[in-house]
């Protein structure tokens, strides 16, 4: 027979919360306009717990452009697209595709902007303790020297 439960206070519903280091998107060439659909920087690795759920992603737009950008995630190494070339994924790499996180809505803070994607619910397993990623421009950014974007993930890690 079911019984009624009353929750008083905070309830833990998952593992521990982990925030990845704030990572600079590597390999972005400054002073050159990208085209929508181009790889935005080089492939990079994101250190993560061995398994968990990606809950939130934060994109710091230090160049104050506010243009839609995708973070493409893979569970294993993949063949990168050269920076500022049309982003492509080899058929063989699709087997390790994990998800795409889109940064589309930005909050402007006068000198810079931030976009966050929350309640993502992207479950993953990363036996090597990392995910592989590359950014894709969806607008036409032109990044100034010293203003490379940064990002971080918040993960609910399995214990």
Q: Does the residue 46 lie in any domain?
A: yes
Q: Does the residue 18 lie in any domain?
A: no
CATH number for the domain spanning 139: value is 2.60.40
Is residue 11 very low, low, confident or very high in pLDDT (cuts 50, 70, 90)? low
In angstroms, how far apart are the furthest CA atoms of the chain? 68
d(CA 23, CA 25): 6
Q: Do residues 152 and 26 make contact, with C-beta atoms less than 8 angstroms apart?
A: no
- The C-alpha angle with vertex 58 and arms to 85 and 72, in degrees rounded to 5, equals 35
Tokens of 88: 């492509």
Give me the domain span that covers residue 72. Answer: 32-157
Question: CA 88: distance to chain centroid?
Answer: 17
Is residue 4 very low, low, confident or very high in pLDDT (cuts 50, 70, 90)? confident
Residue 132: how many CA atoms within 13 Å on its side-chain side? 17
pLDDT value, residue 10: 66
Q: Does the residue 15 lie in any domain?
A: no
d(CA 94, CA 73): 11
- pLDDT tens figures, 45-74: 999 999 999 999 999 999 999 999 999 999
Q: Does the residue 22 lie in any domain?
A: no
Q: Does the residue 99 lie in any domain?
A: yes
Q: Does the residue 4 lie in any domain?
A: no
Q: Is the pLDDT of residue 3 over 80?
A: no
Q: Does the residue 48 lie in any domain?
A: yes
Question: What percentage of the chain carries pLDDT values higher than 70?
Answer: 95
Q: Does the residue 2 lie in any domain?
A: no
**How many domains are there within the chain?**
1
């Amino acid at each position: 027979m079911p019984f009624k439960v009353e929750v008083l206070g905070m309830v833990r519903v998952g593992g521990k919360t982990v925030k990845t280091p704030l990572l600079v998107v590597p390999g972005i060439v400054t002073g050159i306009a990208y085209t929508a659909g181009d790889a935005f920087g080089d492939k990079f690795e994101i250190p993560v717990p061995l398994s968990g759920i990606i809950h939130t992603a934060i994109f710091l737009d230090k160049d104050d452009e506010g243009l839609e950008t995708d973070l493409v995630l893979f569970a294993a190494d993949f063949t990168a697209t050269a920076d500022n070339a049309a982003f492509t994924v080899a058929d063989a790499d699709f087997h390790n595709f994990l998800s795409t996180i889109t940064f589309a809505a930005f909050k402007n803070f006068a000198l810079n902007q931030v976009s966050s994607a929350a309640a993502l619910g992207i479950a993953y397993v990363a036996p090597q303790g990392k995910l592989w990623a590359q950014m894709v421009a969806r607008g036409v950014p032109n990044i100034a020297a010293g203003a490379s974007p940064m990002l971080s993930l918040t993960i609910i890690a399995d214990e």
